[in-house]
Amino acid sequence: MAEDLVLDTAIRDWVLIPLSVVMVLIGVLRHFVSKLMRSNQVPDAKIVKEGQVIIRARNLRAGANFIPFKSFRARRFYYSNEENGLLFVPKGQAQNAQAQMFSDPNMAMDMMKKNLSMIIPQTLTFAWVNFFFSGFVAAKIPFPLTQRFRSMLQNGIDLSTVDVSYVSSRSWYFLNLFGLRGLFSLILGEDNATDDTQRMMQMSGFGFDPTRSLGAEKDGLDIVQHDWALPKFEHRAEAVLRKVLS
């Protein structure tokens, strides 16, 4: 049976609050350091244009049912026809994103700086937490949890009798590491340099591949089934007015 623990207020004052404040300050510092390390190179006009085309095609797919079928078919042909469509990329012109990154030394250097600004602070912070706060039960979740959450919330505590809702200091560090994205978005804006998940995607995918994104967007636009929604709304409005007036 799980045991109920009484947490000392000193743990809150000297472990929980300092750890949270340090994680926020390190995130803000990482953001400004990343901005200082970022090179002021002009983005490639072709990549910017292809990104804007992808955004416009996605907006067309999202609002396809709010324009007539004739207009949607003309726009889809403008984007996806195999002669001069904006989303069509001939096979000979396809460019490997990995080869493009290694051919541009500035891009490779920016990627290395971003990875260093992510890995070094995380390594030092984890070593600090593991050395000073290892073994502390820092907080308690105010709702019951299943046993599957034990390995996530009680990292560093090898006691099966402790209730799952208690959180160790090491697990609190990981919760702050991946759970402060919303707070950083409010403080630093949406385009901040503290999003580690985006960094990991860039490390695994070697950046943005415009050719693959254009092809995927073309396939998604081709399979859209148009169903104009506005006539249905007109009929519903007419039926409601008839009920009101009758």
C-alpha to C-alpha distance for 66 and 56, rounded to whole angstroms = 15
Higher-confidence residue: 26 or 88? 26
Q: pLDDT-based confidence at 93, cuts 50/70/90?
A: low
Instruction: Residue 194: name the closest of 208, 172, 186 by CA.
Output: 186
Per-residue pLDDT tens for 4-44?
778 888 888 988 999 999 999 998 998 888 888 776 666 67
- Quick one: tokens of 132? 């000073």
Q: Summarize pLDDT for 160-181 with one digit per residue, the tens.
A: 788 888 999 889 998 998 888 8
Q: Domain locations in the chain?
A: 9-245
- Give 126-132's long-range contacts (Cβ < 8 A, gap of 24+): 126/173, 129/19, 129/169, 129/170, 129/173, 130/156, 130/170
* Residue 114 pLDDT grade (very low, low, confident, very high; cuts 50, 70, 90): confident
pLDDT digits (tens, 9 = 90+) for 212-236: 788 888 889 999 998 888 777 777 8
